[in-house]
Structure formats: structure tokens, C-alpha cells
Amino acid sequence: MNHGDIQEISIDQLRIGHYVELDLKWFEHPFAFSHFKLKSQAQISTLRDLGLQTVRINTQLGEVSARPPTNSGPVPHPVPEPLRTSESGVSPMMQAKRALIEQMKARRVDAQRVENAFVNSVKVIRDIEKDLYRRPQETVQQATQLIKQVADSILNAPELAIQVMGDKLGGEDQYFHSLNVTVLSIMMARDLQLPIELAGMLGIGALLHDIGRKDIPDKILLKTEPLTQAERNFYELHCQFGVDIAQRLNLAPAAISIIREHHELFDGSGFPGKLKGEAITPLARIVVIANYYDELCNPLLLADALTPHEALSLMFARLRGKFDPRILQTLIRCLGVYPPGTIVQLSNGAIGLVVTVNTLKPMKPTIMVFDAAIPKDEAMLLDMDRETEFNIAKAIRPNQVPRDVYNYLSPRRRISYYFDASTAQREADK
């Protein structure tokens, strides 16, 4: 059978370099994808073991052309053997596939647990900000307890996974921002090997860095057109307003410095003090970068949002002079070139969404892959650390992917991160 670039050939005609397209469901064969280029004789033997008599190949994507059929009669349609249920009768590759499916089920359970923890943390932050004036001392204790839990988990885990969150809570953007900046800051503190005491002060400053915005009118905070100079001057006062609140709460000087300096930039172009370089306190320099990155990904107008990949690229390629270079490198080292929330294309043409990055192996993220043949709630989760056949070819903007792919992957309107330390611990204990 020959339909343009697609030909159906006998299993005996398969050669290394052919690009095969299997007419089997994903769980009926041991390969990561149903479409792939043959790279070894073992793969051909596996296809033969599946009971296939013929297979479709794509001559355009393959490296070798199809051999002409050896007879002029019709080629029989591939008929796979029924999957055998007894473990003793299952091939090692099929056992590996089944193990992979079980691992993906466990990952989905882990992802739901992390998302629940994220939602609970957002609710705690919401209560902290609402009770800040009414019950100041209790609120500071609540914030300190939350930061201790986050810092202990992030700093003490043998490995750390950063995961993109879903859009579960509407109207909570201000709390998402505080939590994002906190998680990213403590993640960088881990890489920089800050002592736990400093990480605690960093966390409090990051969590409360925007408390001064409580005294800025919504007509300024929510204005989508450019601010007038007078409005801009008033907005910039939120740093000092935050310092005044922090001093009334008796926060540590290091945390107060973060609140004062979280908009200062390394080249002196920030505010309110136009501090430059080493004049910005070290902990504040960490929060400056986390805050700037999150604002690029999650601006007031969603149409202006950059993808995580674009945000990191912009900060490194064009704006690097605005940040402490060592700390900027730390953010990139932890999140990788393709941070969670980035849509990517693999070297085999498949499209997926980066859902998790292990900060120790940032170039080997876990990717949720689009496959129309697999239900969305059972989507393939490809661990690039274990994948040897494919790699990430490039990042793609959400508006560049087909609508069905976009709906399947459901890229987040707002990029929020949370961490998972327990999964890495279980992996380390195996």
C-alpha cells in the first residue's frame, strides 16, 4: 500500500532508519511513542515479537527508502497478538512499558498532592494578608511558621522538583505572586547554600515584599494603561509603606531591607533608592530576580505575558545588567532553559508541556506529551532524564500550537510554581 509518503511494507523489509507509524494503542506496545525512527535491530525484533506482519512507514521522515514489495499480491493488514496477562509470558520491554505506566500513575498522584499543598499555602497567605492589621502578632507567627515549613522542605530535600500548578483558584493572583516569589527565592537560596537562618529571613521578606501595596489605591494597582508620572511616583511609595508596616510588626532588619529594595536593580535603574550593585543587600538581590521573573510571566494584562522560556531568555540576553549575575545564573541553573509551563517540541516532532523540573537536572524535565490517541487525564509523562531516543528541540509559544493540542496540554494562563521534595526522597531511597 502506498499513499504518498506513507507506505505499508512487510515486517521483514524493515531496516534501521525507517520511520514507523504503528496502528496500535499506546499501551499495546513497549515504545515511548507510536511514531518513531528505528535505531536498532532490537527495535525491529520487538516489532516482530508483537506479531505484526506489516507496518506503515513514513518515507519522508525516514533515512532510508522502502524496499519494493517482494510480491504483487495484497499485503495483509497488521494483526497484533493479544496482550498476554501472565507476567511470565510478557517480554522484558513490555514489562518496562507497564512499569512506566505505573510510574506515570504515581506521578499524577504526586502532582495532585503537590497542587493541594500549593492551594493550602495560597489560602494561608490570603489569611495572613487579610489579618495583618487586625491581628499583627499572630499573623507574623503564622507567616513565620509557613516559611519554616517551606524552607525546611526545600533546603533539606536530597533533590528538589519544581512543578507548574494548575489554574485552580480564581481571583487569587496577588497571593500567587507572593508564593511564587517565595518559592523561587528559597529555591535559589538552596543552590547558593545559604544557612537556614538566612533562608528564613529571605522567605519572610519574599512573602511580605509587597505588603506596602495595601496602601496604594486599586485605581493605580489595576490600571492597564501606562501610569502618569504622578501615579508612578505614588506607586513607588509602596516600598516605603511596606517598610513602615514591617517595622511596626518588628520584622528582622534583613527582611525589612528586602521589602525596601525588592525593586532595586543592579545597574541603578530601579526604585525607590536607585541603589546600584553591592549597595543592594544580598538577600534583596535574590528577591529582585524572583520578583522580576514572575512579573514577566504574570503581568496585569495576560496578553503581555511572556512564556517562562521567553522570560528567562529576556533577562539573560538583554537585561542581564539589571541583576546580580551570580544570582541570575542560579535561577537559570535551577529552572533550566525550559522552565515548567513551557510548551516544547521534541526532536521527533511531538509537542508537550514541561510540567516538572528537577533542580539538580534542569535540562532533563518531565514533559506531558500530546497524543490524540491517549485520553487527556492519562496523558503520557515523559521523563527526559530516562529518555535516550529523543530530546527537546525548541520552545513554542502557546498561540503557535494547533487548538486541539492547546486544549489537551492546557498551558496555564498564569504561571505558578510549587515544590515537591518527597518524590525525590522516595527516588533516592530506592
Domain with CATH 1.10.3210.10 in the chain: 96-429
* Average confidence (pLDDT) over 350-377: 93
The three cell numbers of residue 419 are: 515544590
Top pLDDT among 341 and 31 is at: 341
Cβ contact 22:35 at 8 Å: yes
Which residue from 180, 194, 48 is spatially nearest to 122, judged by alpha carbons?
180
pLDDT reading at 248 higher than 90: yes
Q: Provide CB contacts within 8 A for 355, sequence distance 6+.
A: 111, 163, 164, 340, 365, 366, 367, 368, 381
Choose the weakest-confidence range: 13-27, 249-263, 352-366: 13-27
pLDDT one-digit tens code per residue, 374-424: 888 889 999 999 887 789 999 999 989 999 999 999 888 889 999 998 654
Residue whose grid cell is 494561608:
124
Continuous segment of H or E residues that includes residue 107:
helix 92-130
pLDDT one-digit tens code per residue, 272-312: 999 999 999 999 999 999 999 999 999 988 889 999 999 99
pLDDT one-digit tens code per residue, 318-339: 999 999 999 999 999 999 999 9
Cβ contact 29:50 at 8 Å: yes
C-alpha 382/C-alpha 386 separation (Å) is: 8
Q: Is 96-429 in CATH node 3.60.10.10?
A: no
pLDDT one-digit tens code per residue, 142-171: 999 999 999 999 999 889 999 998 765 555
* Average confidence (pLDDT) over 334-360: 95
- Beta-strand ranges (E) seen in 303-424 are 343-346, 351-358, 366-369, 380-383, 392-396, 417-420
The three cell numbers of residue 128 are: 495572613
What is the structure's pLDDT at 302?
82
Q: What are phi and psi of 342, to 5 degrees?
A: -85, 130
Geometric angle at alpha carbon 120, from 143 and 170, rounded to 5°? 110
pLDDT reading at 78 higher than 90: no
What is the structure's pLDDT at 362?
94
- Centroid of chain to Cα 167: 14
What is the structure's pLDDT at 430?
45
Q: Which residues pair with 8 in a beta bridge?
A: 56
C-alpha 19/C-alpha 16 separation (Å) is: 9
Rg (CA), the chain: 26
- This prediction has a pTM of 0.84
